[in-house]
Chains A and B, each alone.
Chain A
Amino acid sequence: MNNNHPIEPPYRHAAPAETTMPYRTTSTASPFVAASWRRGGSLLLSLFLGVASAGEAYKVDTITFPHHIAPEVGGLGFTPEGEIVVAMRRYGILIAKPEQDPTKFAWRSFSDDILHNTCGLQVVSKGEMIISTMDDLVRVKDTDGDGIADSYQVICDDWGITGNYHETNMLAPDGANAKNGWWLAIGTASHNGPVFSNIRGTYSAIGQRGRNFSGANWKGWVVHISPDGKLEPYAKGFRANNGICVGPDGKIWVTDNQGDWRGTSPLYHVTKDGFYGHPSSLVWDKNFTSDVDNDPLKHPLAKLNAMRTPAAVELPQGFMCNSPTEPIFDTKGKFGPFAGQMFVGDVAGGRILRVMLEEVDGVMQGACVKFVDKDLRAGNNRLVFSPDGTQLYTGQTMRGWGTPAEGLQRITFTGEIPFDAKTMSLTKDGFVVTFTKPVDPVGGARPGSYKLKRFYYRYGPQYGSPQMEETELKPSAVTLSADGLTATIVVDGLQANRIVQLDLDLNAADGTRIRQPVLCYTVNRLRK
């Protein structure tokens, strides 16, 4: 036996990317492209060239993998040397130096072991990765310097596994280089799957009740894991919290998915001991089960509602986002005019969102808008910025949730400024919206160019919610700044605990049409 990995074996090991017939992407050999060419669509022409345009400001590339790899991306990262690391849900860990040509990534295998549904990745170095899987948090190391991992040491596995397919998680380092350990967002199970006769951890029959359930310890929680592997429960009330990050200011952000107890998909600002609305996880809160109610699903709805911390930003179902995933901040300011803002993937739609946050009356809230919604596959599960901050990679997978959509795509800022709303901020009597380019002074000063309505999503055990109490809000005045970059909207009828949808009917002064016209601002608190 030896550990010299072959270049192109028939299975498992990575080989240089196939260029004549790339896996799940378009190519010159694709019969689809030939048919598309006859139809003459510009989008399809772009795909033919292997580079699809999402507008002048951003382009989308589809990165190819060797045929024998199922590119179901569970984790993304970069080594200090600038190589991209992709941890697959059912393959292993691949590394490549990014190339300008998306079909020319020369992938090599760091690990061939198929860990149990890889869910998160932190890259320590080119020879050391931290991986979260359904089973455990594990340190994967290359101890002999041959470029191939040979040590898989469990850091922590102190959470239950029932055997249900839905109990995934996501990882975020706590502190620079995870010096304080890690945050782990652990999802609940689904009634569409079973529990096993044999369960790791502690089982709860009460916890198993419901549509999405917490049949074993710490399902539906955010937990902290110290560098020496000690697990400490931190916050509860989550459903499918398939996204967690720590912002530049240290705040913890968690996304969750629309479903039972989720009228729409939320983005939460998470703090210690917070309860975020999905009750099943309360079976593992001893204070709740001993002092309040031993069966969370039977606890009165009004009391659960009073206990919960609402979303900082609601991501409206359908037209905005269906299944949000990893949140990530643009910390370098090289990805266009949105420095400091958050981007969020959508696993159930071909899109990535942008989120504009602000603190009002001590509470985080803000607006969301689609960022890129063309040329992307669905399944946008994990995101990572390139080291120089000019490119956003999106790793895709859908297995377990929907129609296959898997692989790796890359969004590049071209240097062209898009015409978009840059920020949306609540005022005492309306909103201030800033723009990336000067707005056409005629249309921009017309109140009719700004359509607003408010609504909310119902909290309760039902799956999702319609938009409740839709109410049109008419701007009484709009003032466009002299430079055309700021619109101040005065509007009556603002209420706390409502979402305000703003539809923009605007052109830039240079004639460019607004790229993403629909913004939704979650008003948790009114500005005093």
Chain B
Amino acid sequence: MIPFATETCHRSRPRTPDAGLRTITLLALATAALTAADTSRGQTVFTTYCAACHGPEGAGLVGPNLTDTVFLHGDKKADIVRVLMNGVGDKGMPAWGAILPPADVDAVADFTVAMIGKNLKSPFAPGESSVTPFPKGSVAFPLLLRTFMPTLGTDAAVFAHHDHGKIIAKYSPDKGGDVKGEQKPIDGVPSAIVVTFGDGLSYCFDTVECRLLYTWSGPFMDMTHYWGAAAGGGRKSFGYVPEVIGPVWWRTSGADPMQVVGATAAKPQFTGYRKVKSVPELQWRVGETKLTLTITPGAKPGEAVCRYTTTGAAKGLVFTLPADSAGQIASDKGTRAGTTLTLSAAEAAQFTLTISPGDKPVIEAPKAKPKDDKKAKPEPVVKE
């Protein structure tokens, strides 16, 4: 295709009725055949190279809808040619300038311009769904969810068996190296189990420390940061840390509270869980000692009844209860002296700690109330 003909074809494609009237000229009529040929080439190129991401009609698949009027990088032909030539690396749009001959880029740019404003709906556009980022459980059907979680200010001494992210130099992907500034680790635990029994009780158990981190009541969690809004999809924040919604009634602190008498201190190893009448029994091992923990709701909102079993603690257990919340914890067995609870081997085989809510929550409301997830504005998608 000769450059003159290409340029002429662009001018002859009306974007508005007025423009169309102005361009009905002898020249346009004379080049009508070329216009058709150009469109055909543009369509061929689009079908071959673009349709996989933008859909056969340009209505969008993984790539954006090209038939609406929202163009992040400009809707003029020159803008589209620039994007075609250079690509948008972070969004997965290739630099077609390195792949297609200029005439094909030109033709497909024309083809794209012509589809703007058709406002076609993607064949796979989400329909109505009851999926939400607000999972729910109940006493009859408690929900177990494994996820990243916030520490909610839990004492750093609790995380003795974790390694710790450090502040590092900020990295620029554009420059391919470090730039001025630094990147800090964010608050979180990477391998948590959370369980909710509905509004009465939810808890967060850490599978690295193998201990209960905190309990709360109310409407559980907002998973939008991790799952996206109701329609699912793109990332919603730099971190993927869910938000706890209700008041937090208890939060642990201090070093590992549980010591097996006569055993060398060992790193706990989470081994799994089983469901007993839908309620999770968490299981782990410390050296040769096997432990289980089953947590159920107590009589009051936020009250957690923690039933432990141990196997292999031949000389019993010593619990050092968290100093700042020992008053909230009662045991059905053992000998209590201040914050120290001593259990014989027989007592340690099965005992129950009841964690009561204090006079006021440790945290009133980490997240005040759920937002209307269906109205949540999607954030830009990052393809990596």
Chain A positions near chain B (C-beta within 8 angstroms):
1-3, 5, 9-13, 21-26, 30, 32, 35-36, 41, 43-44, 47, 67-70, 72, 90, 112-116, 133, 135, 138, 143, 149-154, 157, 160-163, 165-166, 190-203, 205, 208-212, 215-216, 240, 259-260, 317-319, 322-323, 346, 348-351, 370, 373-374, 377-379, 398-406, 461-464, 466-467, 518
The one of A112, A152, A195 in contact with B185, judged by C-beta atoms closer than 8 angstroms, is: A195
- Docked CA distance A197–B165 (Å): 5
B61 contacts A405, C-beta separation under 8 Å: yes
Task: Using A133-B146, A165-B235, A260-B173 as known contacts, say yes or no to A198 and B279 having CB atoms under 8 A apart.
Answer: no
B190 contacts A163, C-beta separation under 8 Å: yes
CB-CB < 8 A to B235: which residues of A? 165, 192-193, 399-400
A-B residue pairs, 7 tightest by C-beta: A466-B98, A404-B233, A318-B94, A378-B62, A116-B146, A196-B188, A161-B190
Q: Does B273 contact A (CB under 8 A)?
A: yes
CB-CB < 8 A to B135: which residues of A? 11-12, 114
In the complex, what's the smallest C-beta–C-beta distance from B124 to chain A, in angstroms? 5
CB-CB < 8 A to B270: which residues of A? 154, 157
- Docked CA distance A399–B274 (Å): 29
Q: Which of A10, A23, A193, A318 has the most CB of B within 10 A?
A: A318
Instruction: Sample 29 A-B pairs with CB under 8 A, ordered by A number.
Output: A1-B139, A1-B278, A1-B279, A2-B140, A2-B278, A9-B141, A21-B128, A70-B131, A70-B227, A113-B143, A114-B135, A152-B273, A154-B272, A157-B207, A162-B190, A163-B186, A190-B384, A196-B185, A196-B187, A197-B159, A197-B187, A322-B62, A350-B62, A373-B51, A377-B124, A398-B233, A399-B234, A402-B383, A406-B232
A24 contacts B126, C-beta separation under 8 Å: yes
Stretch of B35-43, B52-60, B352-360 lying at the A interface: B52-60
Q: Which residue of A lies closest to B121 (CB)?
A: A32
- Docked CA distance A5–B123 (Å): 34
Task: Using A21-B128, A191-B173, A402-B234 as known contacts, say yes or no to A351 and B185 having CB atoms under 8 A apart.
Answer: no
The one of B125, B207, B381 in contact with A402, judged by C-beta atoms closer than 8 angstroms, is: B381
Per-residue contact bits, chain B 221-251, to A (CB 8 Å; 1 contact, 0 not): 0010011100111110011110000000000
A322 contacts B53, C-beta separation under 8 Å: yes
CB-CB < 8 A to A349: which residues of B? 52-53, 61-62
CB-CB < 8 A to B278: which residues of A? 1-3
In the complex, what's the smallest C-beta–C-beta distance from A376 to chain B, in angstroms? 9
The one of A35, A198, A404, A467 in contact with B232, judged by C-beta atoms closer than 8 angstroms, is: A404
CB-CB < 8 A to A348: which residues of B? 53, 62, 92, 383
A116 contacts B185, C-beta separation under 8 Å: no
Task: Using A24-B126, A154-B272, A318-B99 as known contacts, say yes or no to A163 and B60 having CB atoms under 8 A apart.
Answer: no
- Docked CA distance A318–B147 (Å): 33
A403 contacts B233, C-beta separation under 8 Å: yes
CB-CB < 8 A to B336: which residues of A? none
- Docked CA distance A349–B50 (Å): 10
The one of A22, A319, A346, A398 in contact with B49, judged by C-beta atoms closer than 8 angstroms, is: A319
CB-CB < 8 A to A346: which residues of B? 52
CB-CB < 8 A to B71: which residues of A? none
Q: Does B130 contact A (CB under 8 A)?
A: yes
- Docked CA distance A209–B231 (Å): 34
Task: Using A163-B186, A349-B52 as known contacts, say yes or no to A199 and B162 having CB atoms under 8 A apart.
Answer: yes
The one of B90, B141, B185, B277 in contact with A197, judged by C-beta atoms closer than 8 angstroms, is: B185
Count how many pairs of residues, one from A and one from B, have CB atoms less than 8 Å apart in the complex: 292
Instruction: State how many residues of chain B have any CB contact under 8 Å with chain A.
Output: 93
Chain B positions near chain A (C-beta within 8 angstroms):
48-49, 51-53, 55-57, 60-64, 89-90, 92, 94-99, 121, 123-131, 135-136, 139-141, 143-148, 151, 159, 162-166, 168-169, 171, 173, 176, 178, 183, 185-191, 207-208, 223, 226-228, 231-235, 238-241, 270-279, 381-384
- Docked CA distance A487–B318 (Å): 80
- Docked CA distance A383–B55 (Å): 22
CB-CB < 8 A to A69: which residues of B? 131
A259 contacts B384, C-beta separation under 8 Å: yes
CB-CB < 8 A to B89: which residues of A? 463-464
B232 contacts A152, C-beta separation under 8 Å: no
Task: Using A322-B92, A406-B232 as known contacts, say yes or no to A67 and B131 having CB atoms under 8 A apart.
Answer: yes
Q: Which of A25, A41, A43, A154 has the most CB of B within 10 A?
A: A154
In the complex, what's the smallest C-beta–C-beta distance from A26 to chain B, in angstroms? 7
The one of B127, B148, B271 in contact with A154, judged by C-beta atoms closer than 8 angstroms, is: B271
- Docked CA distance A9–B138 (Å): 11
CB-CB < 8 A to A153: which residues of B? 271-272
The one of A114, A161, A240, A467 in contact with B191, judged by C-beta atoms closer than 8 angstroms, is: A161
The one of A191, A198, A212 in contact with B189, judged by C-beta atoms closer than 8 angstroms, is: A198
In the complex, what's the smallest C-beta–C-beta distance from B68 to chain A, in angstroms? 14
CB-CB < 8 A to A208: which residues of B? 165-166, 168
Q: Which of A150, A461, A467 has the most CB of B within 10 A?
A: A150
B94 contacts A211, C-beta separation under 8 Å: no
Q: Which residue of B lies closest to A115 (CB)?
A: B146
B127 contacts A319, C-beta separation under 8 Å: no
CB-CB < 8 A to B55: which residues of A? 350
B187 contacts A402, C-beta separation under 8 Å: no
CB-CB < 8 A to A26: which residues of B? 123
The one of A149, A194, A195, A404 in contact with B231, judged by C-beta atoms closer than 8 angstroms, is: A404
- Docked CA distance A438–B168 (Å): 61
In the complex, what's the smallest C-beta–C-beta distance from A155 to chain B, in angstroms? 9
B148 contacts A399, C-beta separation under 8 Å: no
CB-CB < 8 A to B239: which residues of A? 163, 193-194
B275 contacts A23, C-beta separation under 8 Å: no
B96 contacts A318, C-beta separation under 8 Å: yes
A211 contacts B190, C-beta separation under 8 Å: no
Q: Which of B141, B235, B238, B271 has the most CB of A within 10 A?
A: B141
CB-CB < 8 A to A195: which residues of B? 165, 185-186
Q: Which residue of A lies closest to B231 (CB)?
A: A404
CB-CB < 8 A to B53: which residues of A? 322, 348-350, 378
- Docked CA distance A209–B271 (Å): 32
Task: Using A135-B191, A350-B52 as known contacts, say yes or no to A3 and B92 having CB atoms under 8 A apart.
Answer: no
In the complex, what's the smallest C-beta–C-beta distance from B224 to chain A, in angstroms? 12
B275 contacts A209, C-beta separation under 8 Å: no
In the complex, what's the smallest C-beta–C-beta distance from A54 to chain B, in angstroms? 11
Q: Which residue of A lies closest to B142 (CB)?
A: A1
CB-CB < 8 A to B48: which residues of A? 319, 518
Task: Using A260-B173, A405-B61 as known contacts, say yes or no to A202 and B234 having CB atoms under 8 A apart.
Answer: no
CB-CB < 8 A to A319: which residues of B? 48-49, 52, 94, 99
Q: Which residue of B lies closest to A229 (CB)?
A: B271
Q: Which of A69, A199, A399 has the most CB of B within 10 A?
A: A199
CB-CB < 8 A to A378: which residues of B? 53, 61-62
- Docked CA distance A43–B62 (Å): 18
In the complex, what's the smallest C-beta–C-beta distance from A304 to chain B, in angstroms? 14
In the complex, what's the smallest C-beta–C-beta distance from A465 to chain B, in angstroms? 8
- Docked CA distance A293–B337 (Å): 55
- Docked CA distance A30–B139 (Å): 38
Q: Which residue of A lies closest to B51 (CB)?
A: A373
CB-CB < 8 A to B97: which residues of A? 466
A200 contacts B227, C-beta separation under 8 Å: no
Q: Which residue of B lies closest to A155 (CB)?
A: B272
In the complex, what's the smallest C-beta–C-beta distance from B14 to chain A, in angstroms? 21
The one of A11, A194, A374 in contact with B186, judged by C-beta atoms closer than 8 angstroms, is: A194
The one of B64, B98, B123, B384 in contact with A32, judged by C-beta atoms closer than 8 angstroms, is: B123
Q: Which residue of B lies closest to A47 (CB)?
A: B123
A151 contacts B272, C-beta separation under 8 Å: yes
B164 contacts A199, C-beta separation under 8 Å: yes
B99 contacts A467, C-beta separation under 8 Å: yes
CB-CB < 8 A to A44: which residues of B? 123
A114 contacts B62, C-beta separation under 8 Å: no
